[in-house]
Chains A and B, each alone.
Chain A
């Protein structure tokens, strides 16, 4: 705990990381129960370097539980969780970070009243000097933070300003830049565009693509299929704690993805109900037959 000089410090990633054969992170039939509640069950997921894996799902579908397992906040209770083909079980977020898995949380994991540069290096501070006098290397931290932010296209005049004064999109980008700087190989983004406006969402999506092009494996959690389809290479849709759909980009269109996301089969059933009500136009809604992609039948799914 006292020795925080972990190997990831200052590990600046090369622009094109060598693509390994296997996935960086893999879940095999993973699940999580809180007491008698099964929040997540039988989920398979693979994250490859230089690819964006999108995890979609409605509120309560189990997205947050999924990333909490991967980021080390919670432990899975069933199935397997592999990093570099080795089974792992993280007990703290620190362990996940040390394996190169960085998470940008919905609430961004920033401390609003602290300056930008302190937030950038929080938990992985650079120090200098021998022990009793070991102190923060403030000049180097400020310079590095400024460089990394500029590299991601974020220009801030004053790194001393509290991070709480930045806009939501800017804070998101600082958090992403931080994760990239600390040698993240896998970047988990928890609904990064949920609270943002149209233009800011675009900026964040650009950074997701930039991170992917730097060779990171990205897990992009969202409930917006349009955003997912902009950058995604693989799409997994969660529903009621299980995998409803798992498809490559080549195997699925935006419309279909949207339908799955919106509840797929449920929506088709709803269409028939709505058709009974006068004045509701159901022409645009999909039929059940339109859902051609492989639908994983969910055992807990209520029809």
Chain B
């Protein structure tokens, strides 16, 4: 106890920064290994494997128009999988995303038809409604601190019920009326549901939108302040708040982004089929979540990419259509899906352990 008085601190002056010394304890890992640790590489290899598999087993897949069809199928999943993935990186779930797509389409369709206004009015109102649903989800989760699983399960049930009930109330039917002869329909169809020609093959415009959104999401995630915040609020919400990240703003806007995605896909459905079945959309939310997880997003948040879910959605589209082209029973699709999901989760687990190994 008498070592007390000589305990003056030894103040180390910062070492002169000359030629940079290295720590030397972290051996540089081979580039191949570092590449493998990226969240999207596993799913990329998976997507290639699935593609090669079906190219061999199902000859019709080799045709250009089938490939366009597969890409189209993938894009309708992929456009939603993107915001769902960002939300998941941000540490939250949205189970209502599947039925929210239908809610948005129903809103636009019924509003335009019942009030006999230009369809663009319906489109804009649907956007507002979709963003409001997202904002409500986010606000509830942040305000109550309840798990987003519970809150959005509630929203899911509310929307599912409301979709059916309101549609029956307004139209007396489970589907909305055909709006294809209304003002502005052709214009809106051009944006949401047209096709363009690539070397003699008709490609749906959603494929283009899908890639544009994916590029945008990647840029935001990796190159902007907001993207940094997404990783932070998903990785450690309390730490993020303590260093000044606006956690509530970030999470609520992420939920609203899912709303935006639901609106976009909803509009596509409406303008490509002219009418909306009010009971659809149930179960789709799990497909989106699965695509995000297969795409390397960590279910618990804080890790993932925007490009991974693109490959994840492509795998889904590929399997879904590939089974048909191969002439197999399409019932197998869900079984394939399950196997893919489990495989992806195992890879994620391994990556997370590797990344945080002391």
Can you list, as one digit per residue, whether each of B301-333 has a CB less than 8 Å from chain A (1) or not (0)? Answer: 011000000000000000000000000000000
Knowing A113-B303, A164-B356, the reply to whether A105 touches B9 (Cβ < 8 A) is no
Determine if B12 and A110 form an interchain contact, defined as CB atoms under 8 angstroms apart: no
Determine if A122 and B232 form an interchain contact, defined as CB atoms under 8 angstroms apart: yes
Task: Return chain B residues, CB-CB under 8 Å to A111.
Answer: 231-232, 235-236, 239-240, 302
Determine if B223 and A135 form an interchain contact, defined as CB atoms under 8 angstroms apart: yes
Given contacts A73-B242, A231-B9, 15 further A-B contacts (CB under 8 A): A4-B225, A94-B244, A107-B238, A107-B239, A111-B232, A112-B356, A123-B240, A136-B227, A138-B223, A150-B15, A156-B23, A156-B26, A165-B355, A209-B11, A254-B7
- The distance in angstroms between the C-alpha atoms of A107 and B243, with both chains bound, is 12
Q: Does A103 contact B (CB under 8 A)?
A: yes
Task: Give the nearest-CB partner of B237 in chain A.
Answer: A111
Determine if B245 and A123 form an interchain contact, defined as CB atoms under 8 angstroms apart: yes
Q: Does B224 contact A (CB under 8 A)?
A: yes
Q: B243-265: which have CB < 8 Å to A?
A: 243-246, 249
Q: B1-54: which have CB < 8 Å to A?
A: 1-5, 7, 9-15, 17, 20-26, 28
- Shortest CB-to-CB span from A11 to chain B, Å, is 15
Q: How many residues of B contact A (CB 8 A)?
A: 50
- The distance in angstroms between the C-alpha atoms of A1 and B219, with both chains bound, is 21
Residues of B within 8 A of A (CB): 1-5, 7, 9-15, 17, 20-26, 28, 219, 223-225, 227-228, 231-232, 235-236, 238-246, 249, 298, 302-303, 352, 355-358
Complex A-B, nearest 7 residue pairs according to Cβ-Cβ distance, in ascending order: A254-B4, A123-B244, A111-B235, A123-B243, A109-B239, A209-B9, A109-B242
Task: Return chain B residues, CB-CB under 8 Å to A258.
Answer: 1
Residues of A within 8 A of B (CB): 1, 4, 71, 73, 92-94, 97, 103, 105, 107-114, 118, 121-125, 127, 134-136, 138, 147, 150-153, 155-158, 161-162, 164-165, 167, 205-206, 208-210, 213, 226, 229-231, 253-255, 258
Knowing A113-B355, A162-B355, the reply to whether A210 touches B14 (Cβ < 8 A) is yes
- Shortest CB-to-CB span from B17 to chain A, Å, is 5
The residue from A1, A109, A127 contacting B246, defined by CB atoms under 8 A apart: A1
- The distance in angstroms between the C-alpha atoms of A1 and B248, with both chains bound, is 10
Task: Give the nearest-CB partner of B301 in chain A.
Answer: A113
Determine if B17 and A151 form an interchain contact, defined as CB atoms under 8 angstroms apart: yes
Knowing A93-B243, A135-B224, A255-B1, the reply to whether A206 touches B23 (Cβ < 8 A) is no
Task: Return chain B residues, CB-CB under 8 Å to A165.
Answer: 355-358
Determine if B239 and A230 form an interchain contact, defined as CB atoms under 8 angstroms apart: no
Determine if B11 and A213 form an interchain contact, defined as CB atoms under 8 angstroms apart: yes
25 contacts between A and B (CB under 8 A): A4-B225, A73-B242, A94-B244, A105-B242, A109-B238, A111-B231, A111-B236, A111-B240, A113-B355, A114-B302, A121-B228, A122-B228, A123-B243, A123-B244, A124-B243, A135-B223, A136-B225, A136-B227, A150-B20, A151-B14, A156-B23, A165-B356, A165-B358, A231-B9, A255-B2
Task: Return chain A residues, CB-CB under 8 Å to B14.
Answer: 150-153, 210
Task: Return chain A residues, CB-CB under 8 Å to B24.
Answer: 157
- Shortest CB-to-CB span from B325 to chain A, Å, is 39
